[in-house]
Structure 1
Amino acid sequence: MRFRNSLAIGLAVLTLGGCTSTIAGTASPVPGQGPVITKAEPCALLTQEQAEALGVTYPGKERPADKARKVPGTCRFSELEDAPDGVALEVAQSFELSQGEYLNGALPGEKFGIGGYTWTRYATILGPAYCSLITELDPKTFVEITSDAPGTDESKACDMAKAAAPAVASHLPNGQPSPPLTPPPGQKPIEPAGPLVSVDPCSLLKPEQVTPLNLAAARPMNGSSRDPKNGCQWDDTDGDKGKKPLDLWVYTATKLEDVPGLEGTPVEQVVAGKKWVVYSSPDSPICVAMLPVTETSSVKIDTGDLSDNAKACEIPQAVMPLLTANVPAA
């Protein structure tokens, strides 16, 4: 997942053009009151439990402060590998570096009252797809939380930073205890669910149903990623050319649009009352057909014809009615 280098690499901060809307919350503690910060420990501002709740890795990876460049110590908590729309989170904490020195005169923008502190957003030279929330602890100490937008939706740039702010604030002087944390949608991997969870892929086509298709006996296959966990293959029996093997994969934690290998023009086809989506191209010998069962579970069949592209979908068209009857209903 691409992620910007945070403000902690010394990039300048730009004004937000006077945006000053405020979300109701508790005002910041008066700078200078409360326990004194004697050193910066940005990686200590999230516990393992909090990181797991937010859907980021733990422990974080720390980058030391660079006093000459006016860069605070920063901790990066990467997104989980299988999160569909995950983003990384960075937390910076200064020591003997003031917020004013760091921001270099930038004007404050939108404010959020979270966890007993007022967090102010500042625009960065990297644009609205990135979010920087900063709060001042005392004249020589501040904390910054940064995140970016998943995909191209710039309106979600601050979602992760705001989700983490209660946890970070709970570790600051006079900060409020953190409530249960809610990560932004897509930040954590989808949990396997639905009627396909316990299905053996090789059981979805019976031997007598495969015999007329001139395919070999079923052979289990292991998935190379978290989802699907397994699949099934019926090998072709006509040599190196002609029909390809029929591969069947069961997905239980993947949205249809995130299933790999869906190339060609998608065409919806209703078979026995169930909607299939068939992917093929006149220039390709491959034909893929998907049967969505729930929003995050589906059955995928993948085969083709190496001698005649026009015949690539012959086996899928023969198999689709069989699978429609054999696949458990949602």
Structure 2
Amino acid sequence: MRFRNSLVSGLAVLALGGCTSAVGGSAAPVPGQGPVITKADPCSLVSQQQADALGVTYPGRGRPAKPAQKIAAACRFSELEDAPDGVALEVSQSKDLSAAEYYAGALPGEKFGVGGFTWTRYGTILGPSYCSLTTELDAKTFVEVTSDAPGDDDSKACDLAKAALPAVASHLPGGQQDPQITAPPGQKPLEASGPLVNVDPCTLLKPDQVTPLNLAPARPMNGSSRDPKNGCQWDDTDGDSGMKALDLWVYTATKTADVPGLEGTPAEQEVAGKKWIVYSSPDSPICVALLPVTETSSIKLDTGNLGDKTKACDIPKAVMPLVTANVP
């Protein structure tokens, strides 16, 4: 995922014209309880439990302040591996650096209250795909929380930063404690679900069904970290130039659009009341067939013919009815 360097926002910030608004619920730190900041330690502003809830790695990776460049200390919490729309979270905390100096006099944009503090969004030269949310603790101390847009959806740039504000606020003097934290959709990896969760891929073709296809016996294959044993292979027996080995993959935590290897022109084919999607190309010896079972689970066949491209889909078309009948 893209990583937006907060150094850029510290060097050049643009105003968000026309979007200044106040949202009810803002509050200040409890009188007499701070803020008293003796050092900048942004990595301490998100706990492991909160990082888990937000769908980011823990511990964060710190970056020291650069006083000469008016850059606050920062901590980056990377997105989790396999998160479909995950982005990194970055928290900055100043010491003897005011928000006015950091933002170089830029006009504030949207304001809203979260966790006992008023947070302000500032625009940056990175545009609407980057979100910077800041609260001032005193004349020389501020905290900034940033995230960016997953993919090209600028409307979601602030989703993770806003979700993290209660967590960050809970570590500040006077902040509201024990907040409820929920990660934005797509920020955390999908969990395995559906009727294929406990399916052994090698059982989706029986030994007697494989014999007429002139394929070797089944051999389990390892897959992704979410589906560690989700593959099975039946090797070809006609040498290097003919039929390709048949690979069968079971996905239980992957959206159909994110299944790897779906190349070529898709064509729907109904088999025993189930809709398969066959991907092929006249210029390719590879043929792939996909059976979506739920929104996040599917079965994929991957094979072909290295000697005759016109026969690339012969094995998938012969196997699809067999697999369909064996699906629980």
Q: Same fold (TM over 0.5)?
A: yes
Partner of 1:73: 73
Give 1:178 shift: 3.7
Distance 1:129 1:109 in 2: 15
**Larger CA deviation: 295-304 vs 268-277:** 268-277
Distance 1:229 1:23 in 2: 49
Give 1:31 shift: 9.8
Give 1:224 shift: 5.2
User: Contact 1:93/1:141 (CA < 8 Å) preserved in 2?
Assistant: yes
Partner of 1:313: 313
The 5 Å alignment of 1:157-168 reads: 157-168=157-168
Query: Is the aligned partner of 1:38 residue 2:66?
Result: no
Partner of 2:275: 275
Give 1:9 shift: 6.7
The 5 Å alignment of 1:32-111 reads: 34-111=34-111
The secondary structure found in structure 1 opposite 2:257 is helix
Partner of 2:301: 301
TM-aligned CA distance change 1:150 to 1:81, over 3 Å = same
Distance 1:153 1:37 in 2: 36
How many residue pairs match? The answer is 328
Give 1:236 shift: 1.3
Partner of 2:288: 288
Which amino acid is the alignment partner of residue 237 of structure 1? T
User: Contact 2:220/2:229 (CA < 8 Å) preserved in 1?
Assistant: no
Which amino acid is the alignment partner of residue 326 of structure 1? N
Quick one: percent identity of the two aligned structures?
A: 78
User: Deviation above 6 Å: which 4+ runs of structure 1?
Assistant: 30-33
Partner of 1:260: 260
Q: Which consecutive residues of structure 2, in runs of 5 or more, have no partner in the other structure? A: none
Distance 1:112 1:309 in 2: 61
Which amino acid is the alignment partner of residue 192 of structure 1? A
Post-superposition Cα deviations, 1:297-323, rounded to whole Å, max 9, x if no partner, equal: 111100001111111001101111111
**Larger CA deviation: 269-278 vs 156-165:** 269-278
Distance 2:21 2:319 in 1: 58
User: Contact 1:92/1:145 (CA < 8 Å) preserved in 2?
Assistant: yes
Give 1:88 shift: 0.4
Distance 1:189 1:95 in 2: 35
Partner of 2:206: 206
The 5 Å alignment of 1:147-186 reads: 147-186=147-186
Q: Which consecutive residues of structure 1, in runs of 5 or more, have no partner in the other structure? A: none
The secondary structure found in structure 2 opposite 1:163 is helix
User: Contact 2:9/2:125 (CA < 8 Å) preserved in 1?
Assistant: no
